[in-house]
Structure 1
Amino acid sequence: MRLLHTVLAVIFAVVAISFAVSNRAVVPMSLWPLPFEWPMPVAMVGFVGVIIGFVLGGIAAWIGAGSSRRRARQAEYKNRNQEREITRLEARTREAEKAKVDALGNQENAALPKAE
């Protein structure tokens, strides 16, 4: 898996460098409602677009996974409560078994004849 990641990263880097070298021409970059204009290489305009898309996609994925995170938190809370309940019930069971053994032991001792 690590090798695949490295190979894909190298391929992506080669493509990005090739794109940047091939598109060095400067173009004016302006945003419609703003009166400003910035001269930028074509490659930079492309990279900025990709970065903005990556960030917006990450935000959308994070918002979309909110319900899954909420369900995971609720399941974690329920799991912790059930573990506490199991521990409490195991302790009660041990106490009840010990009391039963003590009661049986007392009955057996009472049934035995006393040696004088």
Structure 2
Amino acid sequence: MKILYRALILLFLLLAVLMAVSNAGVVALTLWPLPFTVAAPLYLLIISVLLVGVLAGLAFGWWAGRHHRRRAREHGKGVARLEREVAHLREQLAGLRPHASASHEVRTPGQKAIDRQSALVAPDLMPSRRGPSPS
């Protein structure tokens, strides 16, 4: 894709250079109701007209997309409002949950695996879960 892009750029540059060399003659441009006359090389006038056309196309495209941008802004505000509501509800839910006491400690699977490994390495350091240990 990068090779195609570079080839197209080189092709357009070559065409621009060929047009500039072929159309170097000075042309007088007058706009009828205005008293101004502009004398410039033909290639410069052609490139200027192309540039004005590109800028006009960009402006019309931007103007045509205003409805989509407005809708995206409105949806973004709605999403932000819903995210704030979810955060508020999560805080309320966390306040309503009973706290785990020491005897009913909630353990993650990772913590259970660490406890099992610790019991295998040093079984005498782990408290017995079946009752008092014989001493």
Deviant stretches of 4+, over 6 Å: none
Larger radius of gyration: 2
| Aligned residues: CA RMSD | 1.9
Q: Which of the pair has the greater relative contact order for Cα pairs under 8 Å at 6+ separation?
A: 1
SS at match of 1:40: strand
- The corresponding residue for 1:29 is 29
- The corresponding residue for 1:89 is 89
TM-score normalised by the chain length of structure 2: 0.68
- The corresponding residue for 2:66 is 66
Gaps of 5+ in 1: 106-116
Residue pairs, 1:6-85, within 5 angstroms: 6-85=6-85
Q: How many residues align?
A: 102
Instruction: Give, in whole Å, the separation in 1 of the partners of 2:73 and 2:66.
Output: 11
Deviations 1:27-50 (A, max 9, x none): 111112111212111111111110
More helix by share: 1
TM-score normalised by the chain length of structure 1: 0.78
Instruction: Give, in whole Å, the separation in 2 of the partners of 1:2 and 1:73.
Output: 34
Instruction: Give, in whole Å, the separation in 1 of the partners of 2:27 and 2:74.
Output: 52
- Identical positions, percent: 29
